[in-house]
Amino acid sequence: MSAQSGPTQSGSEVAQSGSGVALSPQDTVERALAAARSDDCIVIADESSSANLRWAGNTLTTNGVARSRQLTVIAISRRGGEARVGVVSRAGVLEHQIAGIVAEAEFAAAEASPAEDAQPLVTSMTDGPPAPSWQEPPLVTEIGVFGRFAAELGGAFDAAASGARKLYGFAEHQLTSTYLGTSAGLRLRHDQPTGRLELNAKSADLIKSAWAGVGSRDFTDVDVVSMDAELAQRLDWAARSVELPAGRYETLLPPTAVADLLVYMYWSAGAKDALDGRTVFSKPGGGTRVGEALAPLPLSLHSDPAAAGLQCAPFVIAHASSRESSVFDNGLPTSRTDWIADGTLGALIQTRHTALLSGQPVTPAIDNLILTAGGAEGTVADLVSRTSRGLLLTCLWYIREVDPQTLLLTGLTRDGVYLVENGEVTGAVNNFRFNESPVGMLSRITELGATTPTLPREWGDFFTRTAMPPVRVEGFNMSSVSQAS
Amino acid sequence: MDQNQLDPEFAAYPLRELADTALGQARKLGASHADFRAERIRGQQIRLSDGGLETQYDTDDLGLAVRVVVDGTWGFAGAVDLTAAAAARAAAEAVDVARVAAAMNTEPIELADEPAHGEVTWVSAYTVDPFSVSVAEKTALLADWSAGLLAAAGVDHVDASLLQVKECKFYTDGATTAMQQRVRVHPSLTAVSVGPDGRFETMRTLAPPAGRGHEYLTGTGWDFPAELAAIPALLAEKLAAPSVEAGRYDLVIDPSNLFLTIHESIGHATELDRALGYEAAYAGTSFATFDKLGSLQYGSPIMHVTGDRTAEHGLATIGFDDEGVAGQQWDLIADGILTGYQLDRRMARLKSLGRSNGCAFADSPGHMPIQRMANVSLQPAADGPSTQELIAGVTDGIYIVGDKSWSIDMQRYNFQFTGQRFFRIRNGQLAGQLRDVAYQATTTDFWNSMEAVGGPQTYVLGGAFNCGKGQPGQVAPVSHGCPSVVLRGIRILNTAEEAGS
């Protein structure tokens, strides 16, 4: 059964064997909390399912479906102002193993040193029973989610073969239902569909290459035929090839490339590291750069759990503490957060712990990212038409941090760099290695188009929910030529 | 090593019965080939920030996988419960997946033959199971090391982390039934210094991740106290170091840095699935295409690179791969010429290369095996020089130690790396550190400029836990051994200038 046709009853399904039964995630959470002897306890039950197809050279290569069931128990032992935490996360837990997992977590807490991010547990904003959805079984995806899409893809393989193109790519659909319960009475549930399609077309000699990608919640909105047509047009653009040297170029970045650069910047925007003086967002002499202007244009970079088409968890789900998250914050509501407002750094990723250290608001990480600029309008094609000479990129690849001080990133252009002259694409250019900082780049964005949903090519394994405009950047640093095609 | 006991909890599952159920069901439903895997993978992360506990996270992944070939098409399904019902259902799902996929498949799947190995057991070489040591003991050790660094002048922050993994794997295809277990650990400490002007530098330990047990933290295979004692002075020197002048330099590269360059520019470039285009839309292809096998001048004639799944303490070392192929060692580059690839059974048959060299790996029971990297290592010169002797032969250069940033293009031509420590070499002597250094080159130019390789006394087995490949993404651990080397005329960038400052 596919996601769009509604939930299946896997939650009530019982895996029966000599070694025990699997409880529903809700019952698992309640059973674990009932078994808890520590001062506080947080239990997260994740039920995940996924289906994927992968193809290369107009033929399917691998595929699969998988399910997992993960129980995470966070035991907290409090003494004075200190709290010690033990976290145990285990797959495939059966009923008779639940109490043992809780005991393991409590043992880990007992021998842990005090947690630096200790806070009271989050309590419910409203009294009363959990929302009705708490009792509903988890959502499940299966290979059938690709039913119509797979047929269209088969057709696209035929069309590509007759057009001397080879198609490569990957389609994946995942559904995770998360049940969060705490000894403070919180009962929260979140269903997260995550889907993506990446389509790559190459000429028969593999020299020319073009790429397109989309995120999707259910694959009903994916149009392979039009994506393939767009890729065919880009391969046509490459009929004329132009060799250009390294250098700084006026460059048009499409939404996917903007997403990849800004997602990395977002991941680097932790308040803890900034306070420690070790990121691009640290203020020399101490503190953070919140309040500083980063861009002359009125850019807004924000996350919003309710963003249409990009919906994500409206509360914190933290399986373990890290520099940017705290298990103590589990269940904390999240809402629209402007990381950059009107071109000025507005917020860094904060836990309740780091908010106390920084004196700034509690702004936890949210699993989507959106860049807008007032009433900016226009597509990539519109930006091309307003360009006298510049480069148009398709996407970026192998992005890595070179220097945290400036957040200098390096990486490659991939699957199509085009020369734009007098408002038109006039040929395909060799690939480049770039060295650029997304923070420095913000000050050199001279024009933006309309914001559209896009899939970050590089970070799509980890972060799919983005909406970005195409942008024009002055002096984008192409550090050297790459022979790759 | 026989003294290490197989994980009793994993061994207690009725694995053979589950396999019989799955394989029987798959054959009944029309599969011409079926294999079964069950795995338990335990992980533990401990992270400290300035000596305080930041992360303590235990994971325990359990599940089974069934892979089938039906009418020449792959089908795969994973399940989380080690029960007969789940095994039978996964087999049926795998067959279903193959039938849905058949409409899109144009290349019939055939596998290279592999001798039947019967019932085999393999356990990696370690002394102390990291999961037998208490979290309190490990946290205390990291806290002690952190405190030592924090007490030193100029050290403002210390990150300490310890990653530990124990993999238990059961595989059968009917001909080979393998029960295997291996452990790996990666301790790492980074000291940070923030100058009064806001400029900061970091200095990380060079200790590589290793296929060893907890003994690695207590004196076997690495001397942590000695390395940590040297960190504060190295960090202070780096913060005060002059910024490098961009240009071309002769380089002496230490194994602690070179392993990653080998990984990116040789390891991935000699994966046959990349050369054949199966990774074309994601990880990428390779300039070392199949037509160049036996003729490509990859590097200078002193270059000898092997692939293996057998090196003791290697992170990619295993007795039998995820297709039942026994671990082997073979040449990838001999006398500077491309002579081999990393294979799985399907590709070995497709290209008529005989037996697979055993590079199939899946990182979890939820994933289908794909060709993953063997330990890919540059061999030292039998009577070769020491690192100091290599440095003595350079008039105007840089000695690069430790890995940090890395990036390479999708055909493995153009790469850029940074490092932990860059020492100026003048007239054969080290003359203090430099900062803001990156080296950039094209793979074959770089390896053809290699003038000398050090002797066995310079050889270190480096590696990483986190090599990514495939869609859905899979993470694999892999080791790379190498000696120190000398390369002539490599392009050095100034990263501050690259950032426009």
H helix count then E strand count, chain B: 11, 22
H helix count then E strand count, chain A: 9, 20
pLDDT at A124: 76
- Model confidence pLDDT, tens digit, residues A122-154: 997 666 677 878 999 999 999 889 988 988 998
pLDDT at B22: 98
Asked if B287 and A483 touch (Cβ cutoff 8 Å), the reply is yes
Q: How far is CA B425 from CA A114, B68, B454, in A?
A: 46, 57, 17
Q: How far is CA B13 from CA A453, B38, B84, in A?
A: 47, 10, 11
- The C-alpha atoms of residue B344 and residue B353 are separated, in whole angstroms, by 10
- The C-alpha atoms of residue B487 and residue B444 are separated, in whole angstroms, by 12
Asked if A138 and A346 touch (Cβ cutoff 8 Å), the reply is no
CB atoms within 10 A of CB A123: 11
- The C-alpha atoms of residue B323 and residue B316 are separated, in whole angstroms, by 15
B471·A172 Cβ contact <8 A: yes
How far apart, in Å, do the first and last CA atoms of chain A sit?
A: 40
Question: Nearest CB to A116: which of B54, B80, B197?
Answer: B54
Asked if B424 and B430 touch (Cβ cutoff 8 Å), the reply is yes
pLDDT at A67: 85
Whether A88 has its CB under 8 Å from any CB of chain B: the answer is yes
List chain A residues with CB under 8 Å of B408.
398
Section A465-479 average pLDDT: 98
State pTM to two decimals: 0.94
List chain A residues with CB under 8 Å of B82.
19, 92
Q: Given pLDDT bands bounded at 50, 70 and 90, which one contains residue A64?
A: confident
CB atoms within 10 A of CB A374: 11
pLDDT at A377: 93
CB atoms within 10 A of CB A473: 27
- Helix, coil or strand: residue A55: strand
What is the least distance, in Å, from the CA of B309 to any CA of chain A? 24
pLDDT at A7: 31
Asked if A374 and A444 touch (Cβ cutoff 8 Å), the reply is no
Whether A417 has its CB under 8 Å from any CB of chain B: the answer is no
Interface test with A, best of B203, B414, B440, B469 (most A CBs within 10 A): B414
Residue ranges of chain B whose pLDDT lies below 50: 1-2
Whether A118 has its CB under 8 Å from any CB of chain B: the answer is no
Strands A466-468 and A452-454: antiparallel
E strands within A290-388? 299-303, 337-341, 344-345, 369-373
Angle, helices B15-28 vs B84-101, to 10°: value is: 30
Residue of chain A nearest B199, judged by CA positions? A405
Asked if B75 and B94 touch (Cβ cutoff 8 Å), the reply is yes
What is the least distance, in Å, from the CA of B455 to any CA of chain A? 31
B495·A435 Cβ contact <8 A: yes
Tokens of B77: 């399904």
The H or E element containing residue A277 is none
Apex B326 CA angle, B334 and B304, nearest 5:
10
3-state helix, strand, coil split of chain A in percent (to 5) is 25, 40, 40
- Model confidence pLDDT, tens digit, residues A253-282: 999 999 999 999 999 999 999 999 999 999
Section A100-105 average pLDDT: 95
Question: Nearest CB to B53: which of A113, A150, A211?
Answer: A113
The three-state DSSP-derived secondary structure of A67-136 is EEEEEEEEEEEEECCEEEEEEEEEECCCHHHHHHHHHHHHHHHHHCCCECCCCCCCCCCCCCCCCHHHHC
> B261 CB contacts (<8 Å, ≥6 apart)?
B253, B406, B415, B417, B446
Ramachandran bin of A414, using left for φ above 0, alpha for ψ from -120 to 50, beta for the remaining angles: beta
> A438 CB contacts (<8 Å, ≥6 apart)?
A261, A262, A264, A265, A407, A409
**% of chain A with per-residue pLDDT over 70:** 95
Section A418-426 average pLDDT: 98
List chain B residues with CB under 8 Å of A21.
none
pLDDT at A125: 66
- The C-alpha atoms of residue B378 and residue B307 are separated, in whole angstroms, by 9
Question: Nearest CB to B414: which of A59, A114, A483?
Answer: A483
The three-state DSSP-derived secondary structure of A198-215 is EEEEEECCCCCEEEEEEE
Asked if A403 and A363 touch (Cβ cutoff 8 Å), the reply is no
- The C-alpha atoms of residue A414 and residue B326 are separated, in whole angstroms, by 37
Whether A283 has its CB under 8 Å from any CB of chain B: the answer is yes
List chain A residues with CB under 8 Å of B412.
484
Largest interatomic CA distance in chain A: 73
Inform me whether the pLDDT recorded for A87 exceeds 70. Answer: yes
What is the least distance, in Å, from the CA of A145 to any CA of chain B? 11
- The C-alpha atoms of residue B14 and residue B172 are separated, in whole angstroms, by 13
Inform me whether the pLDDT recorded for A11 exceeds 80. Answer: no
pLDDT at B149: 98
Residues 304-363 of B with CB under 8 A from A: none
List chain A residues with CB under 8 Å of B281.
56, 168-170, 198-200, 211
Tokens of A252: 């048009």
